[in-house]
Amino acid sequence: MSLSVQERAEYVATFRFIHVFLMETLARWVPQTPELEVKVLFGRHIWDLAQQADGLGRRGYELRAPLQFSLRPFESYVEVLEEFARTDATSQKIHGFYDVILPGLAARYQKYLERTDRLLDEPTVRVVEKILGEINRMIGESEALRKELPQLRLTDKEWAARLAKREGSEPNIVVRRSSAAIA
């Protein structure tokens, strides 16, 4: 069964919320991060996340939602994001973002692509596929940096496993709204 226009708008708005949250998180981390190379990496990816959020916001408008509309995900998923955002150690920031949060988001995008009608929803499919390519690039850039800077290796691998378990524990993050709430 194909997603309705409203359901597509809700997904897009939820994804936009996540991108804005991640962009703001990285922006808060930059001044607190001592490693210049990590600051540069975060800075580039702040820009990527901002462009992605903008594209999602414009697409949501095309789906009859307000321009740049964001929809807060289920609270359990927001709690995961907030726990992740409180991370202090640079190695946890890097591993949490690039090994847990971004791959989890990519998996959610893949599920969206599986649920939507690629013909009827081609503009969203294009936006999502572009973001997926950028997520892969961002992860690759982080892996290259970690190879250059072994001090960024994660010492507490259990932390990342716990975060990944929590991130994946909520299969559906989109809160359904009434038609009037979106318009």
Domains identified in the chain and CATH numbers: 5-182 (1.20.1260.10)
Mean pLDDT of the region 97-112 = 97
Coil, helix or strand for 103? helix
Mean pLDDT of 155-169: 92
pLDDT at 155 over 90: no
**Mean pLDDT value of segment 42-59:** 98
CA–CA separation, 52 vs 121, rounded Å?
18
Q: What is the DSSP string of 107-150?
A: HHHHHHHHHS-TTTTHHHHHHHHHHHHHHHHHHHHHHHHHHH-G
DSSP annotation of 183 reads -
Helix (H, G, I), strand (E, B) or coil at 176: coil
Which of the pair, 176 or 164, is modelled with greater confidence?
Answer: 164
State residue 170's pLDDT score: 84
Band of pLDDT at residue 2, cut at 50, 70 and 90: confident
Model's pTM, two decimal places? 0.94
Task: Express as a percent the part of the chain with pLDDT over 90.
Answer: 90
For 55-91, the pLDDT digits (tens) are: 999 999 999 999 999 999 999 999 999 999 999 999 9
